[in-house]
Amino acid sequence: MEPASERQSAGKDPGKGSRRAISIPASGPQEGWHSMCGTGIAAWCGPTTGADPGGITVFAIFFPGQGAQFRGMGADVFGRYPGMTRFACDLLGYDLVSRCRDNQDDVLSRTECTQPALFTVNALHTFERERREGPPADYCLGHSLGEYNALLAAGVFDFETGLRLVKKRGELMAAASGGGMSAVMNISAPRLLDVLREDGVEGAEVAAYNTEAQVVIAGSDSALRAAHASLKARGIRFASLRVSAAFHSRHMEPVRSEFESFLAGFTFAEPRTTVISNVTGRPYERGAIPQMLSRQLVEPVRWVDSIRYLLSLGNGLEYEEIGGDSLLRMVKSIAKAGTQNTPIKSGA
């Protein structure tokens, strides 16, 4: 197939990504990387994970979500994989390369474009990493949309299926209206909820636990206005996010229902590399892919719990982010909080 030949003939330059190592828990020896073809499109997936009773080290690969997009992204990989790039453009119905290159009218900020664009670019970077025979991962995890790249990397579905899923997901989320999201800094989630409760703010809920001191809230427009007034009066920093609706909250229930029906039309393999779920902050359980992907739309991203889980596994953690370094900064912040030896059970 053309994608396979592209992967054989691609040059030696590495794809974008960052890698860091810190001395905190993990485990799991691995076999080599695999390649998988689905509907004629080559897709990358990780090896079967085996537990290491010695708990020497863990190597995790992270995939960023919406917000990591930037003008010019993909320029280093589109040319290396012309067949897969053309396939993505045909499936999406527009010229993805020019949209990423030019970002005319800030099109990359539109959810229906952002999600398939990020998925495709990070998938190509993942294929490039495989071609360079990067070290195999013990765990794959992604933040919100990034979880789809983690599942692709773990062999749960092929490139075409993943692109169809995120295309539909992006369209449904973009069509949702009313409400929004705000990032709140330098305060823990429990304290933030106490503050909002003390000030009589109702309807704002946690949408993402990013670090010990950075929380994203979501809610209706009126709920967020009240939350902003409360935070401003108390001198607590916050920033409104450029999204069209209250993602990862109960406001997305109508979207969840439609997406759940869409997911029913696909078959998913079990992960070949352990994938951590945003919903639980723990590894996916067998047969849980559709359920977790639909729940992800209406429940918070438990990134802190996910990283705490990794930090609790052994003697050290190495991690690499595909396509940026925003998640690496979060991981470093969580590790510095010094709670890695006492992970808490997810409330989901």
Residues forming the active site: 144, 248
Residue 76 Cα distances to 12, 119, 120, 122, 130, angstroms: 11, 15, 13, 11, 15
Token pair of 335, please? 């590790």
Q: At what angle do helices 146-153 and 111-131 cross, to 10 degrees?
A: 30
- Alpha helix locations (H) across 19-95? 82-92
Strand partners, 317: 22, 58
Token pair of 305, please? 């719990």
Phi, psi of 257, deg, nearest 5: -60, -45
CB-count exposure of residue 41 (10 Å: 0-12, 13-18, 19+): buried
- Alpha helix locations (H) across the chain? 2-9, 82-92, 96-102, 111-131, 146-153, 159-175, 189-198, 221-233, 253-263, 289-295, 303-311, 326-336
Residue 337 Cα distances to 238, 256, 265, 293, 331, angstroms: 21, 34, 43, 29, 10
Give residue for tokens 């809230």.
217
On whether the CB atoms of residues 141 and 147 are closer than 8 A, the answer is yes
* Rounded Cα gap, residues 111 and 119, in angstroms: 12
* Rounded Cα gap, residues 78 and 123, in angstroms: 11
DSSP-based three-state secondary structure for 97? helix
